[in-house]
Amino acid sequence: MTPAFYYPQLRSELRREWLLWYSYRFNAVSSIIMWGAIFPVLLLTLQNVVNATAAKPFGTQEQAASLIGFLIWHLCMRVFGMMPEMMTEEAETGTLESVVIATAIDFKHLVLLRVLARSVRSAVETLLLGVVLAWLLRVPLTLSLTAVSIIVMTLIGTWGAGFILMGLALLYKSVSSIAGLVANLAFLISGAFVPINGLGWVFAVLKFIFPTTWGIDLLRQQIAGETLNWGVVLGVGGQTLLLFGLGVFVFHWALGRAKARGLLGSY
C-alpha cells in the first residue's frame, strides 16, 4: 500500500481532532491560560532559590533551558497520556471490537494515524503555549531544522512508550493511573524543569531508560548554540527506533492476546 492510500484516512483523523478541539475549545484555552500562569510562578520560585544558594545567577539562558524542557514535556506527555485513553474510550463505548473488525485499513495503522493526528493537535497547542510563555518571560526561542528533528525523535520515542500502555489498556481496559504517574514523574526525572545532566551516573541511567530525558538535554544544547556531538544525536535516534519498535511489538502482541481471549467486545 502506498502512502497515498492512507492520506484520506489521515485527513479524516485530522478533521476529527479539529472537531474534538472545537467542541472542547474552552478546556483547551483554559489549559493554555493555566500553564501560562503556573509556569512563570514556578520559574520565579526556582530563580529565587538558585540566586540565593548558587554562585551563578539564574539568567536568561537558564530560563530558556527550563522553558524548552517544559514545552517538550508538555507535548510528549499530552500525547503519551492520550494513547491508552484511546483504547479505554473505545472499550467504554462498546465500539472497540467493531473498529478492529470493520476498519478499512489495518487497525494498527489506524491507531498510528490517530496518534499522528493527536500529535499534530498537541504540537499546535504546545506551540501556542510556547509563544505565550516566551512573550511573558521575554525569553528568545528559535527552532532550527535540527531542533525540530530532535523534537520529532523525542516524540516518536514517547509514542513507543505509549504503545506499550495501549497494549496494556487492550488487556486490562484502564491504565490511566500508570500513565498519570509516568507523566508526573517525567516532569522531575526527565529534567523537564531543571536540567539533570550534572547528576553523573544518575543522568546516564535515566537518559537510556526514560524516553524524553536524552532528547530534552540534547535539545537544550542545540538551542544554547553548543556544538552537537553527532554520535549523541545518533544515540537519540537509536533509542527512538528501539522504543518505537518495542512499543509496536507489545501492542501487536497485546492485540492478538485480546482477540484470542475475547476481550475486545466487553469492558
Q: Which residues contact 116 (CB under 8 A, 6 or more apart)?
A: 10, 13
Provide the residue-wise pLDDT of the chain in tens; the chain has 267 residues: 566 667 788 888 899 999 988 888 888 889 888 888 888 888 888 878 777 776 677 777 888 888 998 999 999 999 999 999 988 888 887 777 788 887 778 888 899 999 999 999 999 999 999 999 999 888 888 888 888 999 999 999 999 999 999 999 988 888 888 888 888 888 888 888 877 877 788 888 888 888 888 888 888 888 877 777 788 889 899 999 999 999 999 999 999 998 888 877 665
Task: Indicate the SS3 state at residue 121.
Answer: helix
pTM across the whole model: 0.89
Task: Indicate the SS3 state at residue 143.
Answer: coil
For the stretch 64-96, what's the b/e string if a residue is b when 16 or more beta carbons lie within 10 angstroms of its beta carbon?
bbbbbbbbbbbbbbbbbbbbbbbbbebbeeeeb
**Predicted local distance difference test score (pLDDT) of residue 55:** 64
**Predicted local distance difference test score (pLDDT) of residue 103:** 77
**Predicted local distance difference test score (pLDDT) of residue 266:** 64
Nearest to 140 by CA among 149, 126, 130: 130
Q: Report the C-alpha gap between 81 and 260 in whole angstroms.
A: 27
Reduce the secondary structure of 25-37 to three states and give it as a string: HHHHHHHHHHHHH
**Predicted local distance difference test score (pLDDT) of residue 15:** 92
List the chain domain ranges.
3-260
**Predicted local distance difference test score (pLDDT) of residue 202:** 82
**Predicted local distance difference test score (pLDDT) of residue 83:** 92
Reduce the secondary structure of 165-219 to three states and give it as a string: HHHHHHHHCCCHHHHHHHHHHHHHHCCCCCCCCCCCHHHHHHHHHCCCHHHHHHH
Q: Report the C-alpha gap between 197 and 204 in whole angstroms.
A: 8
Q: Report the C-alpha gap between 56 and 126 in whole angstroms.
A: 30
Q: Which three cell numbers stand for residue 109?
A: 495503522
**Predicted local distance difference test score (pLDDT) of residue 189:** 83
